[in-house]
Amino acid sequence: MVGRNDLCPCNSGKKYKKCCLNKDKKNSMLKQKADFSQKHDISVTQKLYAYSRKDKFYDEYMNAQHKFYIVDDKEINSKFNSFFNTYYLQDYITNENKTIAISFFEENKNKLNVIEKNILKSKLKSYITIYKILNIEEDKAVLKDLILDKETYVEDINVLKDLKVGEVVIGRTANIVEVNKFIDTVLSISEKIKDVIIADIKNIYEKNKDVYKSMETFLIYNTNIFYKYIQQLIDPKIGEYLKEKNIEKQSDTKKINDSQEECGVEKLITENIEDAYKEVALTIWEEYKNNNEVKGTENGWASAVEYHTKKEDGINVTQSAIAKKYKVSPSTLGKRYKEIKLIHQI
Ligand SMILES: [Zn+2]
């Protein structure tokens, strides 16, 4: 223990009381405050966790895992244990349409003390976002929330040393017993990844604007989006997996499109025939198509449908004029027309 009148341990040559004493006092106070907050946080989280693992939540626990994890690989997924626990306790919505933390709060209202209640309430409102570290001071780091475009700070001096000014991080903050702090591991990301994620989030929000009052509400209810990014960022194998899945999905979409193009007769009719005949023509084709095997070019069939429709309506049209319109030979049109007419007469 350094005495007030001893030389300061920082080697300034001054007496301790004239040099670092006040700073050290302040730091030790902050440390006590941070440790006090930490202690209560751990204690209430342990109670909440024990509650969440009760038998009645077994299906919910399995379902939460299913929703949270991208790949089915125990070793990879073990890297995200702490994130999963936060998700499961704070964000996952159970069959009863609430989070586990809310159920816990409701069931234990009378047993919880004020500090515990406040911790639970504060976490309830927490969300994951992207922060830029603007400034690091002795007792706090000033952060800018890049999605909500607002400034905040963290004052947990145990993590300040791990942050760098200018750094961009994915994090989740809450006020735990008077201390603003990160409640999950903080993940540092590059400027490029930051831009991709922010654009993505804003895009999803735009599409769901009607559902959420504000971006903040959107973030509170959609932490899972960030948890998916976090998994990809922590393990590159997950990024690869998603990329492959995406390619599969795209080729599935292409297959669907291809099969739709095979039904292009409707499209050709719609594009070529006058509006007045459209409905009748499409009905004729629909009937024929549903009851007969269709072989040969789509243009041939479409031309025959138009010819048949107009002929039935008493219009004076030639096969060759319509064949020309659909870029087929008059004999093709003639053949298809016979088949359609035959069926139609029966
Ligand atoms: Zn000193």
- In terms of CATH architecture, what is 264-345? Orthogonal Bundle (1.10)
DSSP code at position 15 = B
Distance 160 CA to ligand 1 centre (A): 21
Distance 14 CA to ligand 1 centre (A): 7
The DSSP-derived string for 118-139 is HHHHHHHT--EEEEEEEEE-SS
Distance 165 CA to ligand 1 centre (A): 25
The DSSP-derived string for 261-295 is HTTHHHHHHHHHS-HHHHHHHHHHHHHHHHHS---
- How far is it, in rounded angstroms, from Cα 103 to Cα 99? 6
Distance 140 CA to ligand 1 centre (A): 21
Tell me the pLDDT band of 252, cut-offs 50, 70 and 90.
Answer: low
E strand or H helix that includes residue 35: helix 21-52
Instruction: List pLDDT tens digits, range 5-54.
Output: 999 999 999 999 999 999 999 889 988 999 999 999 999 999 999 999 99
Distance 4 CA to ligand 1 centre (A): 11
Instruction: List pLDDT tens digits, range 190-225.
Output: 999 999 999 999 999 998 888 888 999 999 999 999
Q: Where are the domains of the chain?
A: 22-124, 128-237, 264-345
- In terms of CATH architecture, what is 128-237? Beta Barrel (2.40)
Distance 13 CA to ligand 1 centre (A): 8
Distance 26 CA to ligand 1 centre (A): 14
| pTM, full prediction | 0.68
